[in-house]
């Protein structure tokens, strides 16, 4: 508030009034005294307002002035003046306080590189042809963007040369990053786009950062044309060429694919084509033309017998899909009673999903993810039977019986471990996920895939992960076997020799007499015991050098080939009718660069 001495001052003495302001209110520097209206009121001018706006206020109160600041200048950051301090104008007679800056509606000019990046990002993300940069309407829009030095947008030829230069830089950065990695894994798949009846093999790269974070990294590696029939010798040679072009032949610990026959055989070696393979391929080729983008079965092409080409891993998600569909259906249809109720209840769920395909209340399954079917059945089972049958009647679908409704609940209960495992496997794999080994054990142990539980690589991957260790094994004898397996693997890793930290001259050593000391030897058993007694955080691996190396080697492969399938879902967008004449080289780099996550590479790298 203003001091009581304010009223005794002369209205003509502006400097004296300002001096009183200087020893009073904290926002006094935003107002200038004009005149005294009477004995109780004064007139002031707000320095933040444009023009000469006059405000009236009481001599002994500042509520009007405070309200004016809140209503008219609420977006301004007010600078307080401490009590007893003097404002710049009152004390020194200098310039008036700073006013609110004017809003600048002028666009900031962009540089040549920024404009190229923005245009490239637009062309790639929107799947536009490179000829877009030559369109008169597009160039008119770009000319409206202020640029430094009046930059002129290049035409298609020059723009392609610029992008090719940037793509070469991207590849150099990728290879430089891979030089610091000891173990990598890849995921591969083959698909056919019917827009031009071409087949492509796509490969993505995965590795674990070995420094402090131990996070999983991924990058698109290649998308190349596959000519002719999709036989194991063709696929194996192409994958080997892709690995070799990035210097990965000695670093790839596994290649993950789906369960197609061609991929499994390719890793067994390049063998002659048999008649049965020809017939299978011809049959698959005929059916591939039904869809816009068709993924092909590949896993029976690749195997682990050829170590130089890396070990082949079957996609765990695909394996669980097979269990959840083929094995479950085969079991349920093997008995007459279960066969009837299974088919009738599932048929009604399918009909209900078809009728409500445009509704958000019910989930509609997709053909590429089995767990979407399970989620759809679960959503139906959550609806009370009376409400469900009312909905069926309105949609013209046969109502569910009590036995069918009970069957849906039991079906969801039995399938819960598999749906949980699929959700984990098909989710982001940037960190190691808890509970996964136990979920997969529940799935595999009751199926024809039970032998996979004895896989050495899978056991070492689980036990070397601090979140799992031996906790997921319930049998004591089984835990001891896996522990011995980890000890044996640690013995294979040669510890780095420890060099002495200080050197002592020979004359000084001759002065003393010492008993010979036994050299300390590395104990794999001790390292494993200390590791199993340690915490469950991923960071504790930095304390166990050999176990960390085992962890990096066996956990680098992803359990699912979903990353490569998701990436090539873009194929249908790229091969639009106006762009189905792309060359193989341009099309492959379009796919690779559209969502390139490595090293914050800019998305605008495109056609070459």
pLDDT tens readout for residues 66-77: 888 888 887 777
Using an 8 Å Cβ cutoff, are 594 and 603 in contact?
A: yes
- Residue written as token pair 């789906």: 258
Percentage of the chain modeled with pLDDT above 90: 10
Q: Is the pTM of this model over 0.85?
A: no
Position 512 scores a pLDDT of 64
Q: Which residue has the higher pLDDT, 106 or 384?
A: 384
Domain finish residue from 35, 58, 92: 92
Position 399 scores a pLDDT of 92
Domain finish residue from 376, 409, 425: 425
Position 118 scores a pLDDT of 85
- Residue 420 to residues 20, 326, 361, 381, 413: CA-CA distances in angstroms? 74, 18, 22, 17, 11
Q: Are residues 180 and 308 in the same domain?
A: yes
Q: Are residues 73 and 211 in the same domain?
A: no
| Banded pLDDT at 236 (limits 50, 70, 90) | confident
Q: Are residues 289 and 216 in the same domain?
A: yes
Position 288 scores a pLDDT of 38
Q: Are residues 328 and 284 in the same domain?
A: no
The most confident of 128-132, 194-198, 290-294, 495-499, by mean pLDDT: 128-132
Inside any domain, residue 121: no
Inside any domain, residue 376: yes
- Residue written as token pair 């700073």: 98
Inside any domain, residue 247: yes
Q: Are residues 277 and 339 in the same domain?
A: no
Q: Are residues 263 and 236 in the same domain?
A: yes
- Residue 81 to residues 88, 97, 225: CA-CA distances in angstroms? 10, 12, 72
Cα 434 from Cα 469, distance rounded (Å): 11
Q: Are residues 323 and 304 in the same domain?
A: no
The most confident of 213-217, 307-311, 375-379, by mean pLDDT: 375-379
Domain finish residue from 404, 425, 446: 425
Inside any domain, residue 80: yes
Inside any domain, residue 541: yes
Cα 457 from Cα 313, distance rounded (Å): 10
Please write the tens of the pLDDT for every residue from 105-131: 566 788 888 888 888 778 766 767 788
- Residue written as token pair 């479950």: 328
Position 484 scores a pLDDT of 93
Q: Are residues 182 and 233 in the same domain?
A: yes
pLDDT at 31 over 70: yes
Task: Please give the residue range of the domain that contains residue 289.
Answer: 167-314+572-600
| Banded pLDDT at 175 (limits 50, 70, 90) | confident
- Residue written as token pair 């039904």: 290
Position 430 scores a pLDDT of 40
Q: Are residues 267 and 348 in the same domain?
A: no
Per-residue burial over 324-346, b if 16 or more Cβ lie within 10 Å, else e, is beeebeeebeeeeeeeebbebbb
Position 119 scores a pLDDT of 86
Cα 220 from Cα 242, distance rounded (Å): 12
| Banded pLDDT at 533 (limits 50, 70, 90) | very high
- Residue written as token pair 């194996």: 236
Task: Sheet containing 31-36: give its strands across.
Answer: 31-36, 41-46, 54-58
Cα 593 from Cα 165, distance rounded (Å): 14
Please write the tens of the pLDDT for every residue from 84-100: 555 444 434 444 445 55
Inside any domain, residue 450: no
Cα 213 from Cα 208, distance rounded (Å): 9
Q: Are residues 301 and 350 in the same domain?
A: no
pLDDT at 301 over 60: no
Per-residue burial over 560-584, b if 16 or more Cβ lie within 10 Å, else e, is bbbbbbebbebbbebbeeebeebee
The most confident of 33-37, 217-221, 342-346, by mean pLDDT: 342-346
Inside any domain, residue 398: yes
Position 264 scores a pLDDT of 52
Inside any domain, residue 148: no
Q: Are residues 245 and 358 in the same domain?
A: no
Position 250 scores a pLDDT of 87
Q: Report the pLDDT averaged over residues 194-214.
A: 77
Using an 8 Å Cβ cutoff, are 178 and 247 in contact?
A: yes
Residue 500 φ then ψ, to 5°: -60, 145
How many structural domains are present in the chain?
4
Which is nearest to 262 in space by CA: 199, 325, 185?
A: 199
**In the predicted model, what is the mean pLDDT of the chain?**
71
Q: Are residues 289 and 182 in the same domain?
A: yes
């Amino acid at each position: 508030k203003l001091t009581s001495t304010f009223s005794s001052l002369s209205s003509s003495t502006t400097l004296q009034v300002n001096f009183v302001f200087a020893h009073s209110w904290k926002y006094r520097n935003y107002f200038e005294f004009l005149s005294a209206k009477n004995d109780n009121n004064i007139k002031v001018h707000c320095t933040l307002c444009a023009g000469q706006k006059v405000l009236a206020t009481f001599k002994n109160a500042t509520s009007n002035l405070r309200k004016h600041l809140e209503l008219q200048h609420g977006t301004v950051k007010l600078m307080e003046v401490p009590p007893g301090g003097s404002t710049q104008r009152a004390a020194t007679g200098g310039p008036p306080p700073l006013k609110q800056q004017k809003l600048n509606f002028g666009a900031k000019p962009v540089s040549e590189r920024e404009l190229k990046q923005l245009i490239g990002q637009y062309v790639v993300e929107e799947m536009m042809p490179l000829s877009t940069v030559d369109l008169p309407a597009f160039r008119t829009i770009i000319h409206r963007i202020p640029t430094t030095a009046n930059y002129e947008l290049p035409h298609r030829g020059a723009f392609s040369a610029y992008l090719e230069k940037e793509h070469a830089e991207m590849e150099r950065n990728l290879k430089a990053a891979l030089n610091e990695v000891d173990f990598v894994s890849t995921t591969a798949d083959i698909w056919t786009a019917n827009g031009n009846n071409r087949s492509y093999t796509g490969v993505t790269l995965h590795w674990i950062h070995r420094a402090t974070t131990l996070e999983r990294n991924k990058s698109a590696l290649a998308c190349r044309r596959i000519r002719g029939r999709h036989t194991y010798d063709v696929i194996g040679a192409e994958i080997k060429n892709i690995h070799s072009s990035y210097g990965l032949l000695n670093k790839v610990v596994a290649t993950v694919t789906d369960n197609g026959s061609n991929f499994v055989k390719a890793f067994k070696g390049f063998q002659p084509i048999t008649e049965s393979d020809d017939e299978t391929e011809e049959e698959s080729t005929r059916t591939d033309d039904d869809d816009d983008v068709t993924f092909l079965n590949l896993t029976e092409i690749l195997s682990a017998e050829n170590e130089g080409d890396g070990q082949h891993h079957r996609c765990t998600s695909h394996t669980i899909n097979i269990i959840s569909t083929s094995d479950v259906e085969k079991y349920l249809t093997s008995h007459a009673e279960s066969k009837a109720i299974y088919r009738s209840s599932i048929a009604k769920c399918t009909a209900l999903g078809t009728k409500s395909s445009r509704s958000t209340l019910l989930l509609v399954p997709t053909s590429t993810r089995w767990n979407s079917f399970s989620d759809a059945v679960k959503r139906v089972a959550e609806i009370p039977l009376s409400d469900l049958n009312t909905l069926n009647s309105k949609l013209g679908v046969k109502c569910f019986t009590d036995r069918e409704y009970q069957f849906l609940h039991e079906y969801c209960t039995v399938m819960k471990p598999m749906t949980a495992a699929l959700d984990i496997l098909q989710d982001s794999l940037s960190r190691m996920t808890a509970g996964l080994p136990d979920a997969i054990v529940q799935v595999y142990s009751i199926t024809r895939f039970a032998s996979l539980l004895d896989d050495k690589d899978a056991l070492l991957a689980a036990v070397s992960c601090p979140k799992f260790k031996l906790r997921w094994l319930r049998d004591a004898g089984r835990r001891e076997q896996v522990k011995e397996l980890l000890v044996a693997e640690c013995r294979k890793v040669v510890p780095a020799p420890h060099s002495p930290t200080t050197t002592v001259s020979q004359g000084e050593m001759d002065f003393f007499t010492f008993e010979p000391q036994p050299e300390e030897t590395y104990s794999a058993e001790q390292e494993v015991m200390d590791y199993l007694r340690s915490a469950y955080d991923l960071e504790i691996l930095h304390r166990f050098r050999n176990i960390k190396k085992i962890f990096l080697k066996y956990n680098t492969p992803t359990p699912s080939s979903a990353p490569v399938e998701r990436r090539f879902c873009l194929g249908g967008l790229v091969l639009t009718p106006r762009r189905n004449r792309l060359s193989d080289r341009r099309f492959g780099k379009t796919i690779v660069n559209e969502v390139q996550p490595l090293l914050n590479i800019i998305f605008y790298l495109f056609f070459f």
